[in-house]
Homo-oligomer: A and B are copies of this chain.
Amino acid sequence: MTANLVLLSGGVGGARLARGFEHLEEVRSTVVVNVGDDETIYGLHVSPDVDTVLYTLAGVEGPQGWGRAGDTMVLMDHLSKLGVDTRFRIGDADAAVNVYRTMRIRAGDQLDEITAALARTLGVRSRILPATNSRLRTEVRTGPGCWLPFQEYFVLRGHRDEVAELRYAGAESATASPGVVEAIRSADAVIIAPSNPPLSIWPILAVADIGAAMRDARRVMAVSPLFGGRALKGPADRVMSSLGLPPGNSGVLAAYDGLLHDLFIDSLDAGDAPSLEQAGVSVHVGSTLIAEEDRAVTFAGRMLEVL
């Protein structure tokens, strides 16, 4: 029997889990990817999370969690000589993808069509859908009245600032890209990847018809991004805390307020299980480390068994 799965994904964590599922023949998966991180950089439309998923599933991802393995920086070097601020590093193969995306957007094509074409070119089997073709941008309030574009907060300022508030500009009028709502409605389970809940998953849920479809989903399973209460990398625990969510996996459960049927947490957080179970969610404890491909495949298999 084939399991139809939908994976809601940010960048690295979701990409790695998606890679695990891509190895399971009995799974048909649709990866719905956050576009709140999208930005115009060097005049190019960059979609960092979409590209991380594409590159990871194609096996060409960069070791740092962005860009491509072994990419050259010829264009950056030349831009730098022209006095352009090149702290946002885009390698040449990565730049070509962004040039391609930007050309097609200007020609009137939609993000989902462009993503599908890139997936075909890169030889990716899973279906990858940007959450929305509409313009939606995560913005981060770090001080009174002070809203930063996501990439300025995340890349240029190294996500050091305390996050007081988030907003998803454009979300109110955004609609799910074609196929997303149908995929969620017909999925045997929707899996929320071990991505940063407020920064990577909320911007997906902020699209009204995706949020509504999620409330009707047959089964929603989340994988916690926490290990011993902390994110492996990135600011998930700090952001959840500064936004007033409870610490540890109670915070993850609260972040997905009423949506979850199952929560997969790491063995390091086994102590969180009783209170989570009491809150009415099925808790599955075990290693949730999926950085290496074989571990991701094993973990995906475990999720499938639970399902």
Q: How many copies does the complex hold?
A: 2
Residues of B within 8 A of A96 (CB): 75, 78-79, 81-82, 84
Q: Is the C-beta of A106 less than 8 angstroms from some C-beta in chain B?
A: yes
Check B75–A95 contact: CB distance below 8 A.
Answer: yes
Contact of A100 among B74, B79, B102 (CB under 8 A): B79
A14-43 interface (Cβ within 8 A of B): 40, 42-43
Q: How far is the CB of A242 from chain B (nearest CB, A)?
A: 32
Q: Is the C-beta of A212 less than 8 angstroms from some C-beta in chain B?
A: no
Among A44, A82, A103, max chain B CB count under 10 A is at A82
The contact sample of 14 A-B pairs, CB cut-off 8 A, is A42-B99, A42-B103, A43-B44, A74-B74, A74-B75, A75-B95, A79-B96, A81-B96, A81-B121, A82-B96, A83-B121, A84-B96, A84-B103, A92-B92
Q: Is the C-beta of A93 less than 8 angstroms from some C-beta in chain B?
A: yes
Check A121–B75 contact: CB distance below 8 A.
Answer: no
**Complex Cα distance A102/B135, Å?**
21
> A135-148 toward B: CB 8 Å interface, digit per residue (1/0)?
00000000000000
**Complex Cα distance A100/B79, Å?**
7
Contact of A78 among B40, B93, B118 (CB under 8 A): B93
A80-116 interface (Cβ within 8 A of B): 81-84, 92-93, 95-97, 99-100, 102-103, 106
Q: Is the C-beta of A275 less than 8 angstroms from some C-beta in chain B?
A: no
Q: Is the C-beta of A186 less than 8 angstroms from some C-beta in chain B?
A: no
Check B72–A84 contact: CB distance below 8 A.
Answer: no
Check B106–A92 contact: CB distance below 8 A.
Answer: no
- Measured CB to CB, the residues of A under 8 A from B are 40, 42-44, 72, 74-75, 78-79, 81-84, 92-93, 95-97, 99-100, 102-103, 106, 117-118, 121
Residues of B within 8 A of A81 (CB): 96, 121
Residues of B within 8 A of A103 (CB): 42-43, 84
Among A81, A92, A96, A103, max chain B CB count under 10 A is at A96
Check B82–A121 contact: CB distance below 8 A.
Answer: yes
**Complex Cα distance A82/B103, Å?**
12
Contact of A74 among B44, B92, B118 (CB under 8 A): B92
Q: How far is the CB of A156 from chain B (nearest CB, A)?
A: 16
Residues of B within 8 A of A93 (CB): 78
Residues of B within 8 A of A74 (CB): 72, 74-75, 92
Check B75–A118 contact: CB distance below 8 A.
Answer: no
**Complex Cα distance A43/B92, Å?**
16
Check A118–B82 contact: CB distance below 8 A.
Answer: yes
Residues of B within 8 A of A79 (CB): 96, 99-100
Residues of B within 8 A of A84 (CB): 96, 99-100, 103
Residues of B within 8 A of A42 (CB): 99, 103
Q: How far is the CB of A117 from chain B (nearest CB, A)?
A: 8
**Complex Cα distance A149/B151, Å?**
37
